[in-house]
Amino acid sequence: MVMPIELFFLLGLLVLGYVAGRFNEKRHYRSIREGESRFRDLLVMNGRRLPPHLLKHQARMVSGNVVISVDYFKVILAALRNLVGGRVTSYESLIDRARREAVLRMQAEARELGAEAVFNLRYETSRISGDATRGVGSMEVLAYGTALIPPQ
């Protein structure tokens, strides 16, 4: 029996996507957890009511962004999920990673300025490439907020 070459190609992409995507995601989550424990003492709030001890601080805007791509396996998984509906867990982890990474980069910028806290955090999410027929492609997440720097 002769298998069509396209099928082999597709299977190859699927396997490559699964293996490399898995590896990338695990490695990324490990670095996110490390970063989050490093910045645990840098308070991030999405409100803007300042506690009394921060009222004399200098304010400066900080931001962090990341563009993250899906892997081929996830695209196929999501396409299959579209047939029956329900939670698309393969994209959930993608966007979760991007959001947490963006916040970490914002915190790194705030830490460099010597900030004590970041208030009024806002997220901005957008799709960079890909269209309706090709699935998500890649997502950009921007996190920004106001860093509060102790007065000299």
Contact positions vs other proteins (CB under 8 A) = 13, 16-17, 20-21, 24-25, 28, 48, 50, 54-61, 63, 65-72, 74-75, 101, 119-120, 122, 124, 126-131, 137-138, 140, 142, 144-146, 148, 151
**Residue whose CB is less far from other proteins, 2 or 36:** 36
User: For residues 120 and 46, what is the distance between their CA atoms, to the nearest angstrom?
Assistant: 4
Nearest to other proteins of 85, 106 (CB atom) = 106
Classify the phi-psi angles of 105: left when phi > 0, otherwise alpha if psi is within -120 to 50, otherwise beta: alpha
User: For residue 52, what is the DSSP state?
Assistant: G
What are the CA-CA distances from residue 19 to residues 22, 31, 50, 66 (Å)? 5, 19, 46, 23
Q: Minimal distance in Å, beta carbon 2 to other proteins?
A: 26
What's the closest the beta carbon of residue 77 comes to other proteins, in angstroms? 12
Comparison of 12 and 85: residue with beta carbon closer to other proteins:
12
Q: Residue 55 or 84: which CB sits closer to other proteins? A: 55
Q: Which residues pair with 44 in a beta bridge?
A: 118
Q: Which two tokens stand for residue 147?
A: 């860093």
For other proteins, the closer of residues 1 and 141 by Cβ is 141
Closest separation in Å from C-beta 10 to other proteins: 11
Ramachandran assignment for 71, one of left (phi > 0), alpha (psi -120 to 50 degrees), beta (any other) = beta
Tokens of 33: 């957890």
Say if residues 102 and 58 touch (Cβ distance below 8 Å).
Answer: no
3-state secondary structure of 150: coil
Q: How far is the CB of 1 from other proteins (least distance, A)?
A: 28
